Structure 1
Amino acid sequence: MNILITAGGTSERIDNVRSITNHSTGRLGKAIGECFLAQGHHVTYVTTPQAVRPVNQANLSIIEIETTKELASTLLNQFEQQSFDGIIHGMAVSDFTTETTLSEDIFIEKLAAKLTNDNTLNDLTSLTEALYHSLDEIGQTVQQAKKIPSGTDRLLLFLKKNPKIIAMLRDHQPQAVLVGFKLLVGVSFEELVHVGSALLTKNNCDFILANDLEQIHDKQHVGILIDATGQTTTAQTKSEIAQLIVNKVEEKWRSQS
């Protein structure tokens, strides 16, 4: 099988020396990749510079990205070049990317200037609309500094929503067995299954691996694999999750062939 795996956590640049990222280490993706490789499959492994990854070996191609935008362009490029039998989208993709940054003083000056020039702000509705419009304009301010000065007491960081990578996978690789991931924190088994099932349906996945951050520590990593029929299988460690995913993807692929 020809397998694509994404793993690690994307970073969104604030300036040339600062970024926003998440705590994903890529360890689960590494375990899944190694398990597929051990079964003789070819793996294209898309990851981030800070994440762990399988050791270089035959049948393994590693591609590094940093931002969500780079991830999207890399995947589209791969989809143009080859067809995948399975896609394991385990990367922790940033929900938001940076739009611009402003010091407190500059932000207040810009907002005050816009509002004082508007003579129609005579009720709450018009004031609210003006604020939304002003924030939208200010958010589009081009970030000029390569390194933001640290002299301000308060820095305002504007973030805008990233597109959902998982939403595009089925459209571009309709033949692939698609596995998505959902991480929640401090929820019940029922809630994990409910949210995971909704994500599976929304993005037309074959499987979703739902897990709770509070159930991930030391050698334990509880994961619930949900299929399109709603059936669940629970694993207790990263190696168990990896073997479970490989077995299920192989089984699904054989049934489609």
Structure 2
Amino acid sequence: MLQGKTILLGISGGIAAYKAATICSRLVQAGAKVRVIMTESATKFIAPLTLQTLSRHPVYLDTFDEFDPSVVAHIDAADSADLVLVAPATANIVGKMANGLADDFLSTTLLAATAPVIVAPAMNVHMYAHPAVERNMALLADRGVRFVEPGTGLLACGYVGKGRLAEPEEIVAAVKHWFASRTELAGKSVLVTAGGTAERLDPVRFLTNDSSGKMGFALAEAAANRGADVTLIAARTTAPPIVGVKLVRVESAEQMLQAVLERYDAADIVIKAAAVADYRPVSQAPTKIKKSEEKLVLELERTTDILKTLGERKTHQFLVGFAAETEQVAQYAMDKLRRKNCDLVVANDVSQDGAGFNLDTNVVQIFGKDGLIEALPQLHKREVADHLLERIVRQMQKKPAGEAGE
């Protein structure tokens, strides 16, 4: 799966830089074309000649070293990449990446690269847990950078804790998995809903909820990264649009229902991550409602249950619902899965720290017809999306062709 792929291997200056030799060698053996970029500090730990010999290509060291006068070296390197791997990644290079700094060949190339990026951090346990480093990694994760978690053990500094570079085998496996996942959903049509619907009281007021749409947008991006043809139906959101994903904007629950039904028959996978209003005003005032009495009584009526409607009409679709709860999460999630004929339900306790609306992180449990399948710790929503898409792919592979999952 790495045959013919160009991987930029960025090596920054930590003691773990020596492991980059093994990473480079394994990638080359797997068929990849590896172009190595080293920071000046990295050359203090391992000789560039070692990486040049293993990669069979010149090693980039200085922004002003131009091997080919017909191109600008760091731009050419960035443009050539199918994937950028930074291993080891020190706190310094992570900070530069997060804040858009570019003062050497590696950081300049990273700023110019449009290819996906995988980062394997390596640093002292206290540095790894520092709020500034955690913030920088969260910023990068929010931009789609993937991380290979460091290991826990005896560090070169003498401390024992988390911060040791993942083993070369783990890092190479993460690279292979990324390329493999690019085609997992090729030829599949995926429909995702996101955001909070708004139910109008009058031209200037509406009823809504705290949903930011970040979870749905992360799911749409994860599906697109796996080769799917993705349509994202979004109500009120704060998340930015995604390149390569069709975006359909709606406002109310009824508009979302119609937009979903128009595309449902052609969909292979439907993920209902939107926070849809359960009630709407019976009537909408044509002009702004003026203040009059001390109290204003609103009459509300039920909206159509979109997920239940989709479950009733399901033929071949793999249907995933979301359940935001504040108590008895498992009980309510399983009830929802059965009543609405879902294949999976992703549930979370929105009262829990790190979970719920308007956050970059989530803490979820994934339920199937036999109960709890997987309980995830607090993760960035992009990581949750990847876990869920991997689970969907595995579940679909288990189902006989044409089975609707009832």
Q: Note whether the superposition's TM-score is higher than 0.5.
A: yes
Give TM class, smaller chain: 0.7 to 0.9
Structure 2: stretches of 5+ with no match in the other structure: 1-187, 402-406
Cross-structure match for 1:177: 318
Deviation at 1:171, TM superposition (A): 3.1
CA RMSD for the aligned pairs? Answer: 1.7
Deviation at 1:14, TM superposition (A): 0.1
Deviation at 1:56, TM superposition (A): 2.8
Q: Deviations over 1:204-238 (max 9, x none)?
A: 11100010112253554110001111132012222
CA distance in 2, matches of 1:90, 1:20: 19
User: Is the contact made by 2:198 and 2:236 (CA closer than 8 Å) also made in structure 1?
Assistant: no
Name the CA shift for 1:98/1:144 in 2 (closer, same or farther; >3 Å): closer
Which stretch of structure 1 is more off in the superposition, 175-184 or 213-222? 213-222
- Within the candidate set 6, 12, 19, 2:206 is matched to 19
Q: Secondary structure, in 3 states, of the residue corresponding to 2:367?
A: strand
- Within the candidate set 50, 69, 73, 2:258 is matched to 73
User: Is the contact made by 2:281 and 2:300 (CA closer than 8 Å) also made in structure 1?
Assistant: yes
Name the CA shift for 1:56/1:66 in 2 (closer, same or farther; >3 Å): same
Cross-structure match for 1:148: 289
Normalising by structure 2, we get a TM-score of 0.49
Q: Secondary structure, in 3 states, of the residue corresponding to 2:375?
A: strand
RCO comparison, higher one (Cα < 8 Å, 6+): 1
CA distance in 2, matches of 1:34, 1:242: 8
Cross-structure match for 1:241: 384
- Within the candidate set 263, 268, 275, 1:85 is matched to 268
Which structure has the larger Rg over C-alpha atoms? 2
Alignment pair present for 1:211 and 2:348: yes
Equivalences, count: 207
User: Is the contact made by 2:337 and 2:343 (CA closer than 8 Å) also made in structure 1?
Assistant: yes
Structure 1: stretches of 5+ with no match in the other structure: 101-142
- Within the candidate set 222, 225, 230, 1:38 is matched to 225
Q: Deviations over 1:117-158 (max 9, x none)?
A: xxxxxxxxxxxxxxxxxxxxxxxxxx5541111243221111
Structure 2 counterpart of 1:68, one-letter code: A
Structure 1 counterpart of 2:192, one-letter code: I
CA distance in 2, matches of 1:183, 1:49: 17
User: Is the contact made by 2:365 and 2:372 (CA closer than 8 Å) also made in structure 1?
Assistant: no
Q: Deviations over 1:37-85 (max 9, x none)?
A: 111111110001434254232xx21111111111111112223xx5211
Structure 2 counterpart of 1:203, one-letter code: K
User: Is the contact made by 1:25 and 1:52 (CA closer than 8 Å) also made in structure 2?
Assistant: yes
CA distance in 1, matches of 2:302, 2:371: 30
Structure 2 counterpart of 1:25, one-letter code: S
Q: Secondary structure, in 3 states, of the residue corresponding to 2:291?
A: coil
Structure 1 counterpart of 2:282, one-letter code: E
Structure 2 counterpart of 1:22, one-letter code: N
Cross-structure match for 1:231: 372
CA distance in 2, matches of 1:175, 1:30: 24
Cross-structure match for 1:127: none
Deviation at 1:18, TM superposition (A): 0.7
Structure 2 counterpart of 1:19, one-letter code: F
Name the CA shift for 1:203/1:175 in 2 (closer, same or farther; >3 Å): same
Cross-structure match for 2:337: 200
Cross-structure match for 2:160: none
